[in-house]
Structure 1
Amino acid sequence: MQVLPDAGKGEEPISTPDVHGKLCVRLLDPPVVKTVQRRLEEMLRDSLVVMEQRGRAKYWRKVAGASGLAAKAAGTMTYDEALALQTLRRFSTWRIPTLVAETLSPLFDVAAKRLATVNNQHERRYRKWIDKIEVETGSFALQYPEVDSDIFAMVSQALFNEQKLEIVYQPRTKVDNTEAKVVHPLGLVEVGGLVYLVAAMPRHPNPAMYRLDRLVRATMLPESFAQPRGFRLSEYVREQRHFDFMVEGVIDLRLRFRNGAGNHLLEAPLSDDQQVRQGDDTLEVRGTVLLSQRLRWWLRAFGPNVEVLAPERLRSELAAEAMALAGIYAGR
């Protein structure tokens, strides 16, 4: 189904040998042409594909929908299922689910049509429900660069099959790079609207991170690779905190908030060992955290409503920044 043209998009059908040729590119052990022909005929009987006879040759394309699922679902989808799909489509604000959900686009279209055809007041409630929910991010909204869907699909396929991946990566410091490198894909991580590939490289002890929007080419290679011993993506992200950017170690952080700026920490602690002490207009918070650039960004966002009491090195650093900032505005 992945190699067949889509009738719903008006794509031209391809012959059986062409289908076989595309499978040979994708699969390490492709079936023979006769097997492909037999499978296509079975799919034709199941109404998953359409066929055009051109002389003695047969040309194929899949019916409109995700592997034919949308065509089958059109007459059987319930209002509950349609509502669930429409809710997923609208509120999938994270980039990875959104990219994956593109393969379900025809099913989303079927769901929209299902909710558009109502026969009574009860069914009308389903159509109105989607307009009664909104989701808003808690941070300043940025327009993040788009990830090429074909590159995302290739990276995902290599990750799933545990096969080597050849990429051309253009970091901010080398935007004209055309040199390819071979990496071993270990996982995908989304951080604040940006999607990263975590990958290992031969003869390099530690995995590296590659922003997917900076990949200009990705090709899955036929060779597999051995997973690094002891590597776990969850530990890499949550315990080693590699996505906190430039982690410098554990610190005993003490903060004093004013004007209610830190009250959210009473419900969402910054650490497992957090301690708090409330005053008339202040909140003192203490906890063990990792010192990183992300922590600094978080503290700067509070402006004059937070004071770093400890450690002294971080306090002095932010105090110097505050003086420099005051100098900039005073010199206007």
Structure 2
Amino acid sequence: MSELDRDIMRALPDAATQDNYLTTPEIHRRVTQDALEPVTVKTVNRHLAKLEASGLVEMREHGVALAWRRKAGASGMAARAAGMMTFDEALALQTLRRFSSRQIPELVADALSSMFEVAKARLERANSPVEQRYSRWASKVAVESGGFTLEYPPIDRDLFAVVSRALFEERKLEIIYRPRNNANNETPKTVLPLGLVEVSGLVYLIGATEGKPEPTMYRLDRLWRARAQAEPFDYPRSFSLDEYVKKQRRFDFMVEKEVLLKLKFIDEAGDHLLEAPMAKDQKTSSKDGVLYVQGTVMLSQRLRWWLRSFGPKVEVLGPASLRAELAAEAAQLARLYGA
């Protein structure tokens, strides 16, 4: 199977999970939007005809055009797995499908859609009491976010495919980005894709700009257009996504500096910190039902949001500047609600 055949197969809807077909021009648009070499519609149509003859795709007439989709189980791996998948493997796949609730796993799970269907069918064929317990397992496990849930804008799957492929192939990416303060932007810019990060339901592209020392974060749901360029780039050895996220704390928003945070909790509000410390050097003590906690943390907007979530059940004892800032906010709130 050629690279173009694989691109066509990835672009086609899977009959196992989708009812729709794509016309030849629609398939051509998908497979050529980031292609290195020009490909004509006739070439795509010729490859589709060969794939149909091989029993991998199916075709129907759509007006005067031809429309196509991938046959159920035609991904090869799913077809081979159908007759030999164990209940353990089927359960693992169905659990993965159910609990991959974040956007990145959901977007990349399309590649496994036929495997998920095979796993589902395998569990539905449970006969013995042991096999039936496998079938019931997924309904016995749940995952719930600890924060207040917001409905974030969905990410365009085609744009995600372009971005993730450019990231994988280390190719420059031309994007049109529309931030909140410039929602009608039409000016393209070229970025060097360095990584994808999901934070609290939002997915960000970390992109470098030639001539600038620091990369920029772009929310994927605000991408209006994306096109991978033929020109590759050298992925910077000095950049570490893990360090960018975990050590530099770039997603803590408006990171300032490290501070020694000293807190006083009442009514057991901070007891969870005894099991999940806020800092590696955390120290705690308690007296008369009051919990005192201190540790070195990064001062940021996210830290402030966390402290505000405790309301009057936490008092910031230090640093003095943060205490004064939150005291001023509390006074303003008192005036607001007092009125």
TM-score (norm 2): 0.85
Partner SS state of residue 129, structure 1: helix
| Residue of structure 2 equivalent to 1:56 | none
Q: CA deviation at 1:244?
A: 0.7
| Residue of structure 2 equivalent to 1:297 | 305
Q: Is residue 48–residue 68 contact of structure 1 (8 Å, CA) maintained in 2?
A: no
Q: Is residue 92–residue 98 contact of structure 1 (8 Å, CA) maintained in 2?
A: yes
Q: 1:79 aligns with which of 84, 87, 100?
A: 87
**Range 306-315 or range 96-105, more displaced:** 96-105
Alpha-carbon distance change, 182 to 38 in structure 1, aligned in 2, over 3 angstroms: closer
What is the alpha-carbon root mean square deviation over aligned residues?
Answer: 3.0
Q: Is residue 49–residue 68 contact of structure 1 (8 Å, CA) maintained in 2?
A: no
Q: Tell me the number of residue pairs that the alignment of Structure 1 and Structure 2 aligns.
A: 322
| Residue of structure 1 equivalent to 2:235 | 227
Q: CA deviation at 1:39?
A: 11
| Residue of structure 2 equivalent to 1:190 | 198
Q: 2:21 aligns with which of 1, 8, 11?
A: 11
Residue 217 (structure 2) pairs with residue 212 (structure 1) = no
Residue 182 (structure 2) pairs with residue 174 (structure 1) = yes
Q: 2:287 aligns with which of 270, 274, 279?
A: 279
Uncovered stretches (5+) of structure 1, i.e. residues with no partner: 53-58
Structure 1 Cα separation of the partners of residues 74 and 167 of structure 2: 22
Q: Is residue 52–residue 59 contact of structure 2 (8 Å, CA) maintained in 1?
A: no
Alpha-carbon distance change, 78 to 13 in structure 1, aligned in 2, over 3 angstroms: farther
| Residue of structure 2 equivalent to 1:249 | 257
Residue 133 (structure 2) pairs with residue 133 (structure 1) = no
Alpha-carbon distance change, 211 to 145 in structure 1, aligned in 2, over 3 angstroms: same
Q: Is residue 249–residue 255 contact of structure 2 (8 Å, CA) maintained in 1?
A: yes
Code of the residue aligned with 2:279 in structure 1: it is S
Code of the residue aligned with 1:144 in structure 2: it is Y
Q: Is residue 64–residue 70 contact of structure 1 (8 Å, CA) maintained in 2?
A: no
Code of the residue aligned with 1:127 in structure 2: it is S
Alpha-carbon distance change, 288 to 6 in structure 1, aligned in 2, over 3 angstroms: closer
Q: CA deviation at 1:43?
A: 9.5
| Residue of structure 1 equivalent to 2:162 | 154
Uncovered stretches (5+) of structure 2, i.e. residues with no partner: 1-5, 61-66
Q: Is residue 20–residue 69 contact of structure 2 (8 Å, CA) maintained in 1?
A: no
Code of the residue aligned with 1:3 in structure 2: it is I
Partner SS state of residue 231, structure 2: strand
Q: Is residue 275–residue 286 contact of structure 1 (8 Å, CA) maintained in 2?
A: yes
Q: CA deviation at 1:330?
A: 0.8
More relative contact order, 1 or 2 (CA 8 Å, 6+ apart):
2
Residue 12 (structure 2) pairs with residue 2 (structure 1) = no
